Amino acid sequence: MPADGAPDRDPARDGAQVQIGLRDVELRYGDTLVQRGLSFDIHRGDVFVVMGGSGCGKSTVMRCITGLLEPRAGRVLMQAVSLWELPPGRRTRLMRRNGVMYQSGALWSSMTLAENVALPLEQYTALDAAQIRDIAEYKLALVGLADYGAYYPAEISGGMRKRAGVARAMALDPDTLFFDEPSAGLDPISARRLDELILELRDSLGTTMVVISHDLDSIFAIGDDSVFLDGISKTMLATGNPRRLRDHSDIEQVRAFLNRGRERT
Ligand SMILES: Nc1ncnc2c1ncn2[C@@H]1O[C@H](COP(=O)(O)OP(=O)(O)OP(=O)(O)O)[C@@H](O)[C@H]1O
Tell me the C-alpha distance between 42 and 141, whole Å: 28
Calculate how far, in angstroms, residue 28's C-alpha sits from the geometric centre of ligand 1: 10
Calculate how far, in angstroms, residue 2's C-alpha sits from the geometric centre of ligand 1: 25
Exposed, middle or buried by CB within 10 Å (0-12, 13-18, 19+), for 33?
middle
Tell me the C-alpha distance between 74 and 85, whole Å: 11
Q: Which residue(s) pair with 33 in the sheet?
A: 28
ipTM above 0.95, yes or no: yes
Per-residue confidence of the chain (265 residues) as pLDDT tens digits? 444 444 445 544 556 799 999 999 999 999 999 999 999 999 999 999 999 999 999 999 999 999 999 999 999 999 889 999 999 899 988 888 899 887 666 789 999 999 999 999 998 899 999 999 999 999 999 889 999 999 999 999 888 998 999 999 899 999 999 999 888 888 888 889 889 999 999 998 899 999 999 889 999 999 999 999 999 999 999 999 999 999 999 999 999 999 986 654 4
Phi, psi of 184 (to 5 degrees): -60, 130
| Contact status, residue 140 vs residue 167, Cβ threshold 8 Å | yes
Calculate how far, in angstroms, residue 71's C-alpha sits from the geometric centre of ligand 1: 15
The domains located in the chain, with CATH, are 1-97+217-265 (3.40.50.300)
Question: Which protein residue's CA is at the shortest distance from atom 16 of ligand 1?
Answer: 57
Segment 86-93 long-range contacts (CB within 8 Å, at least 24 positions apart) = 91/67, 92/67
The pTM of this model reads 0.90
Tell me the C-alpha distance between 241 and 223, whole Å: 7
Residues lining ligand 1, Cβ inside 6 A: 29, 34, 52, 54-60
Question: Which protein residue's CA is at the shortest distance from atom 5 of ligand 1?
Answer: 29
End-to-end CA distance of the chain: 32
Calculate how far, in angstroms, residue 200's C-alpha sits from the geometric centre of ligand 1: 31
